């Protein structure tokens, strides 16, 4: 009898480990439906396995099944009220649902979103993601429903105490949103000085583009490329040149370099580089070359409507 008990226990444990590992593997491979199916089946016989419940919530979240994800995370937060990460995930799923419904329905969710993030931050003084969520929440909400620049900056300061670079990025984000471009630029530059990651450079580049300062954006991307040597940055330079009709020779050279060295890790398909080259040749009034490249873009990704619109414009040159 004892021998049977241990065999049963060991088999059950092995099944548990295999199911959870399978779900994690599916999530890593972006096979979210498979992860969902794995955990739904497993939870039928192990309904109280919190790790499995969390993985199921993650699988639902990746599929934008917000109600289902909320159900899993809410259960976890109620059963483990001192677990900061459960409250954070619950708030995140609620927040994503709020973005997907009408403004009136969203207003009914905001209080729960805020309470969940505040609880996560309270429970874990080192929880960076919860503080980022609060920064973004307080910045994006209108004042009438609880938005507050001062509260956003409070959590940006807390972030800075945990991670200097996150603090600077958060302050840049707050001041950008609050229409104080000089302060936003200052803190994004400080983030680059302290951290210098690709993300830091991207935040400043995006800021310059939003401020309609393409030359500064190109200069920043070039500095990022000098440090990080990423082929994708050639595309970024070409994109800015094409969008703003500036430094066209540089844009053309960068896009062709991008295509020459292209690999899957660059992220942006070749068709988009063809499209940017077509834009550049359009700006140069070279209809023949522009048509050549836009046709290559359409052949690569025939369902992209902006490519078809661009061809129509070029054809009228």
pLDDT of residue 282: 98
Number of domains in the chain: 2
pLDDT of residue 170: 97
In a domain, 147, yes or no: no
Distance between CA 163 and CA 201 in Å, rounded?
17
Could you say which of 73, 102, 124 is where a domain stops? 124
In a domain, 262, yes or no: yes
**What's the CA angle centered on 41, arms 35 and 44, to 5 degrees?**
135
Write out the two tokens for 229. Answer: 């040597």
248: domain CATH number? 1.25.40.10
pLDDT of residue 141: 79
Could you say which of 75, 108, 124 is where a domain stops? 124
Could you say which of 72, 105, 124 is where a domain stops? 124
Q: Say if CB 73 and CB 104 are below 8 A apart.
A: no
In a domain, 10, yes or no: no
In a domain, 3, yes or no: no
pLDDT of residue 11: 47
pLDDT of residue 146: 65
pLDDT of residue 142: 67
In a domain, 198, yes or no: no
In a domain, 240, yes or no: yes
pLDDT of residue 80: 96
Q: Say if CB 221 and CB 240 are below 8 A apart.
A: yes
**What's the CA angle centered on 39, arms 119 and 41, to 5 degrees?**
140
Q: Say if CB 282 and CB 290 are below 8 A apart.
A: yes
Q: Could you list the mean pLDDT of each consecutive 10-residue stretch along the chain, which spans 317 residues?
A: 46 60 89 93 90 94 96 97 97 92 86 95 96 93 73 96 97 96 98 96 97 98 97 98 98 98 95 98 97 97 96 95
In a domain, 149, yes or no: no
3-state helix, strand, coil in the chain (%, to 5): 80, 0, 20
Q: Say if CB 70 and CB 94 are below 8 A apart.
A: yes
Which domain, by its residues, includes 103?
A: 22-124
pLDDT of residue 6: 45
């Amino acid at each position: 009898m004892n021998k049977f008990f241990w065999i049963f226990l060991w088999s059950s444990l092995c099944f548990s480990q295999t199911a959870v590992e399978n779900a994690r593997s599916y999530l890593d491979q972006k096979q979210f439906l498979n992860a969902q199916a794995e955990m739904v089946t497993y939870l039928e016989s192990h309904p109280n396995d919190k790790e499995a419940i969390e993985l199921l919530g993650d699988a639902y979240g990746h599929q934008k099944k917000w109600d289902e994800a909320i159900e899993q995370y809410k259960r976890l937060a109620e059963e483990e009220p001192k677990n900061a990460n459960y409250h954070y995930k619950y708030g995140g799923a609620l927040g994503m649902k709020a973005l997907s419904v009408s403004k009136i329905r969203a207003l009914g969710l905001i209080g729960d979103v805020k309470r969940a993030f505040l609880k996560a931050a309270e429970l874990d003084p080192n929880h960076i993601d919860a503080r980022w969520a609060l920064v973004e929440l307080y910045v994006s909400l209108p004042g009438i429903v609880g938005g507050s620049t001062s509260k956003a900056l409070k959590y940006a300061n807390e972030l800075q105490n945990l991670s200097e670079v996150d603090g600077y990025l958060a302050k840049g984000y707050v001041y950008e949103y609050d229409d104080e471009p000089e302060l936003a630029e200052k803190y994004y530059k400080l983030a680059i000085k302290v951290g210098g990651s690709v993300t830091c450079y991207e935040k400043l580049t995006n800021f310059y583009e939003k401020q309609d300062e393409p030359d500064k954006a190109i200069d920043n991307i070039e500095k990022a490329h000098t440090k990080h040597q990423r082929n994708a940055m050639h595309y970024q330079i070409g994109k800015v040149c094409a969008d703003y009709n500036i430094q066209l020779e540089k844009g053309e050279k960068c896009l062709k370099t991008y295509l020459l060295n292209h690999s899957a890790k660059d992220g942006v398909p070749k068709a988009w580089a063809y499209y940017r080259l077509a834009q550049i040749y359009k700006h140069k009034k070279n209809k023949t070359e522009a048509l050549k490249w836009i046709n290559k873009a359409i052949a690569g990704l025939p369902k992209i409507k902006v490519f078809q619109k661009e061809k129509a414009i070029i054809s009228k040159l």
